[in-house]
Amino acid sequence: MNAMTRHAEAAHRASGFVWQTLHGRGMRCTRPEVEGALVELSPEQLAQVHAAATSVAKGSDRAEFLGLLG
């Protein structure tokens, strides 16, 4: 399995959680839209978005996390 395939699979796995977090905060988007956006990110950016989604899911309202998810 090459790096591109692993990254696409990581983006697919993260997309459900990120979508659920965004949806819970009232941001309207589809899971395929989220997955498509996540695939375009570098692995480091994907990790940052996942960390931001985790913080927001736990109740954080930090502007930097919300901006990163937006």
More confident residue, 3 or 34: 34
Q: What pLDDT sits at residue 28?
A: 85
15 in Cβ contact with 34 (< 8 Å)? yes
Query: For 21-65, how does the pLDDT look when each residue is reduced to its tens digit (9 = 90+)?
Result: 888 888 888 888 888 888 898 889 888 888 888 888 888 777 677
* Dist CA 51 CA 54 (whole Å): 5
* Dist CA 35 CA 30 (whole Å): 9
Give the residue-averaged pLDDT of 4-29.
84
* Dist CA 7 CA 39 (whole Å): 7
Q: What pLDDT sits at residue 21?
A: 86
* Dist CA 69 CA 5 (whole Å): 23
